[in-house]
């Protein structure tokens, strides 16, 4: 195919007496490009294109960045004299001008995010923390109109993965980062710094129509492993128990498994019963709890709505049964409570440092309002 | 500053292309007489056309590359065990595969009679004006976003299923199947309707002339004649159902239990699609869990591929036989 075209072209070139030299040159250059499926011509053209670009008001930064972007610029400057490649250069120029512009914009954004004077602070992570983080961001932005903070949820794991990939500045986490996650971040040149920003209690909830008032941690564990299958066994009606849990990417899931189902015993191999319903959101849990008298669920205290019934929980049979509240979490009497974390990508500086400092100080007044427990 | 520069180059390039093609047309040899520009356009169209196939292949290779490592990272015994706890390196895919199969088959069992009777009604029974109203309405059904249906299922259908059937929870395979049936109905109805439509009029005329009632004509003549088209409809509906994610994730409860008995219909199940959707966001790139999720992707891809091939095969056979369905 390619050979045929080439033959055709050369015949034409000789046949047509009216051919302009320039046109002929351009034609050959392009033919060559097509013959080799474009790439060689492209590269040579790119080398030329870079030379031609020198005079343009593009900054040095964007040009040096072009290599990283995989744009033009193989470093070869073998553009032959004459105008053979003029057409190819045109094409490449059109292409590279667009890409280079894109590169320079990207570079500018990265710079902004990396140094302290960030315009937008990306904050992502735990769904447990997302409401609180939003409230903080709103209050802080009102006081400091220069700063933009964008808050998204998705789960602690999602946020941490995003920080490992370098796309967020602050991660909200409802669990500590695992060693492997910290190593992965360090491998990418990011050293996470931990801050405890509030406390959270996990409330065990049932439908308001369920007469059960209190459970021990042992009973909750037995329910979730499938050892107890009827509400009658824990003092309720003769109904099957439907266990609800968050999905396994939720920090709440891991915390609940380790501290309730396994009761803090690190050698325990207990798991959620396979009958446990994994709900993709807190909303999924609350909507099922609201209308299903068989259901039992757990979620962050901040997410418990008035139409769910919160159970009193005791460490053991004799222990006091405690209903979670700001007071009982703070004084440590409620057994299922945990700290909540923010991780910054590297030692915070500039606006990020100011923001974290504010959270640990002035921002604490908001914590109680959202159902969490201040430091 | 930059724009006029490359604009002028672009213009000169355009000039030259024009000049070449004019030259060529003016030139003598008619045998090689395709203008340069035409060749260019033709080959770009060809490249774009083939790129679709290329993309599918690339996706499949990507799936294989990311998913196959699971085969040697995890023992087959683990891979086909009956529990799925990826957080603790237990990767039993059986409950997920069975869960998807269970929900899909239940959905088709609901959708098939509904879809085929609707198609028969629209095509054979309904007067013209009714058909004109029904057909666009059925197509509108296909356009409802699945997340909306999922929300509806979670807040309306699931509580209804629980209270009317007196089962522990409404978030069950059955609720998922109802939603999936609803979602695959538009596909089934329109394909089945086309199949009925292409049954030759002479069949109807002959049956009626033999003294058959119109019910007998439909049930004994037209539907059997259209059966391979109806089978295609069911296959395509299945393809739609097995790949559905959002609504299924919201209403099936996502409990990774083995759905082995008939009673499992009213228990929660976990499908492959919901598993991938729920867990992909959290998983660390390149981990065993990540490969396991892509492994599920491969299984899904192969299943939908087989289903679609079966559907296409039915269409092909039918064409081969000379247009009868």
Residue with tokens 């006029």: B4
Sign of CA dihedral A157, A163, A168, A172: positive
The verdict on residue B64 lying in a domain is no
Q: B282: domain range?
A: 73-320
The verdict on residue B223 lying in a domain is yes
Residue A64 pLDDT exceeds 50? no
Q: pLDDT tens digits for A196-214?
A: 888 888 899 999 999 999 8
The verdict on residue B60 lying in a domain is no
Q: pLDDT tens digits for B167-220?
A: 889 899 999 999 999 999 999 999 999 999 989 999 999 999 999 999 999 999
The verdict on residue B66 lying in a domain is no
- Contacting B residues, span 182-241, partner chain A, CB-CB under 8 Å: none
Which one of A102-111, A360-369, B16-25 scores highest in mean pLDDT? A360-369
Alpha-carbon span A223 to A227, nearest angstrom: 6
pLDDT class of A118 with cuts at 50, 70, 90:
very low
The verdict on residue B25 lying in a domain is no
A139 touches chain B (CB under 8 A): no
The verdict on residue B134 lying in a domain is yes
Identify which of B9, B24, B250 has the shortest CB distance to residue A90. B9
Which of A2, A6, A7, A8 should be substituted to probe chain B, the one whose Cβ sees the most B Cβ atoms within 10 Å? A8
The pLDDT value given to residue B218: 92
The pLDDT value given to residue A339: 83
Parallel, antiparallel or unpaired: strands A214-216 and A120-125: unpaired
Q: Do B282 and A249 touch (CB under 8 A)?
A: yes
Domains and CATH numbers, chain A: 2-107 (no CATH), 118-198+340-369 (3.40.190.10), 200-338 (3.40.190.10)
Q: Any idea what the CATH number is for the domain that residue B122 is in?
A: 1.10.3720.10
Give the DSSP letter string of A10-52: HHHHHH-TT--HHHHHHHHHHHHHHHTTTHHHHHHHHHHHHHH
Q: Into how many domains does chain B fold?
A: 1
- Nearest residue on chain A to B24, alpha-carbon basis: A12
Q: Do A278 and B270 touch (CB under 8 A)?
A: yes
- For residue B85, what are the β-bridge partners? B90
B284 touches chain A (CB under 8 A): yes
- Contacting A residues, span 272-301, partner chain B, CB-CB under 8 Å: 272, 274-280, 284, 287-288, 291-292, 294-295
The pLDDT value given to residue B156: 92
The pLDDT value given to residue B160: 92
Nearest alpha carbon to residue B98 among B78, B81, B77: B81
Which residues of chain B lie closer than 8 angstroms to A26, CB-CB? 13, 16
Residue A171 pLDDT exceeds 60? yes
Q: pLDDT tens digits for B215-233?
A: 999 999 999 999 888 988 9
- Distance from the Cα of residue B225 to its chain's centroid: 25
Residue A169 pLDDT exceeds 50? yes
- Contacting A residues, span 238-257, partner chain B, CB-CB under 8 Å: 239-242, 247-249, 253-254, 257
- Nearest residue on chain A to B2, alpha-carbon basis: A56
Residue A331 pLDDT exceeds 90? no
- For residue A242, what are the β-bridge partners? A295
Alpha-carbon span A110 to A167, nearest angstrom: 10
The verdict on residue B228 lying in a domain is yes
Residue A31 pLDDT exceeds 60? no
Alpha-carbon span B63 to B59, nearest angstrom: 6
The pLDDT value given to residue A85: 53
Nearest alpha carbon to residue B318 among B218, B190, B225, B207: B225
How close A287 comes to chain B (CA, Å)?
7
- Contacting B residues, span 98-137, partner chain A, CB-CB under 8 Å: none
Q: pLDDT tens digits for A40-62?
A: 333 333 333 333 333 333 333 33
Q: pLDDT tens digits for B244-260?
A: 998 999 999 999 888 88
The verdict on residue B86 lying in a domain is yes
Which residues of chain A lie closer than 8 angstroms to B36, CB-CB? 27
Q: Do A277 and B6 touch (CB under 8 A)?
A: no
A201 touches chain B (CB under 8 A): no
The pLDDT value given to residue B321: 56
């Amino acid at each position: 195919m390619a050979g045929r075209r080439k033959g055709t072209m050369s015949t034409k070139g000789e046949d047509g007496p009216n051919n302009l030299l320039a046109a002929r040159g351009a034609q050959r250059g392009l033919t060559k490009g097509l013959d080799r499926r474009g790439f060689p011509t492209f590269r040579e053209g790119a080398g030329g294109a870079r030379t031609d670009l020198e005079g343009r008001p593009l900054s040095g930064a964007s040009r040096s960045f072009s290599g990283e972007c995989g744009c033009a610029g193989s470093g070869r400057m073998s553009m032959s004299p004459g105008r053979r490649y003029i057409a190819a250069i045109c094409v490449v120029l059109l292409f590279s001008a667009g890409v280079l512009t894109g590169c320079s914009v990207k570079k500018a954004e990265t710079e902004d995010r990396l140094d302290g004077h960030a315009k937008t602070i990306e904050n992502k992570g735990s769904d447990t923390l997302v409401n609180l983080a939003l409230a903080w961001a709103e209050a802080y932005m009102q006081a400091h109109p220069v700063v933009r903070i964008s808050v998204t949820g998705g789960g602690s794991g999602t946020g941490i993965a995003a920080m490992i990939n370098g796309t967020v500045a602050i991660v909200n986490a409802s669990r500590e980062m695992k060693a492997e996650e910290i190593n992965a971040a360090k491998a990418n040149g990011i050293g996470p710094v931990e801050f405890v920003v509030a406390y959270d209690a996990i409330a065990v909830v049932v439908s308001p129509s369920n007469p059960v008032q209190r459970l021990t941690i042992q009973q909750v564990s037995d329910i979730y492993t499938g050892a107890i299958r009827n509400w009658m066994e824990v003092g309720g009606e003769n109904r099957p128990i439907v266990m609800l849990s968050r999905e396994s990417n939720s920090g709440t899931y891991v915390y609940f498994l380790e501290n309730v189902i396994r009761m803090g015993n690190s050698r325990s191999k207990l798991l959620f019963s396979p009958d446990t319903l994994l709900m993709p959101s807190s909303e999924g849990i609350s909507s099922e709890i609201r209308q299903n008298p068989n259901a039992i669920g757990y979620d962050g205290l901040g997410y418990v709505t008035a139409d769910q019934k919160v159970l009193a929980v005791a460490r053991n049979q004799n222990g006091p049964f405690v209903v979670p509240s700001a007071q009982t979490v703070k004084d440590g009497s409620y057994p299922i409570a945990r700290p909540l974390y923010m991780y910054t990508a590297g030692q915070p500086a500039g606006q990020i440092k100011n923001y974290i400092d504010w959270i640990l100080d002035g921002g604490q007044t908001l914590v109680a309002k959202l159902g969490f427990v201040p430091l | 500053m930059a724009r006029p520069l490359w604009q002028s180059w672009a213009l000169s390039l355009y000039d030259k292309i024009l000049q070449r093609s004019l030259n060529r047309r003016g030139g003598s040899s008619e045998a090689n007489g395709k203008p340069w520009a035409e060749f260019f356009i033709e080959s770009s169209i060809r490249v774009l056309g083939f790129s679709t196939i290329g993309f599918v292949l690339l996706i499949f290779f990507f799936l294989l590359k990311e998913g196959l490592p699971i085969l040697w990272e995890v023992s087959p015994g683990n891979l086909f065990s009956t529990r799925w706890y990826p957080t603790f390196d237990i990767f039993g895919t059986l409950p997920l595969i069975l869960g998807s199969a269970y929900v899909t088959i239940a959905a088709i069992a609901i959708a098939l009679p509904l879809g085929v009777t609707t198609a028969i009604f629209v095509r054979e029974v309904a007067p013209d004006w009714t058909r004109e109203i029904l057909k666009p309405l059925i197509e509108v059904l296909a356009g409802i976003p699945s997340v909306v249906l999922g929300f509806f299922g979670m807040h309306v259908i699931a509580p209804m299923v629980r209270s009317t059937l007196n089962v522990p929870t409404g978030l069950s395979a059955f609720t998922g199947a109802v939603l999936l049936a609803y979602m695959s109905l538009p596909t089934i109805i329109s394909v089945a309707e086309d199949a009925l439509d292409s049954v030759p009029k002479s069949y109807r005329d002959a049956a009626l002339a033999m003294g058959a009632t119109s019910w007998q004509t439909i049930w004994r003549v037209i539907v059997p004649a259209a059966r391979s088209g109806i089978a295609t409809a069911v296959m395509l509906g299945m393809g739609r159902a097995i790949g559905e994610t959002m609504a299924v994730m919201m209403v099936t409860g996502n409990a990774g239990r083995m759905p082995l008995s008939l009673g499992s219909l009213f228990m929660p199940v976990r499908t492959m699609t919901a598993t991938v959707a729920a867990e992909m966001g959290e998983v660390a790139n390149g981990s065993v869990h990540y490969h396991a999720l892509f492994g599920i992707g491969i299984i899904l891809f192969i299943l939908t591929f087989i289903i679609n091939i079966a559907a296409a095969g039915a269409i092909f056979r039918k064409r081969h036989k000379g247009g009868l369905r």
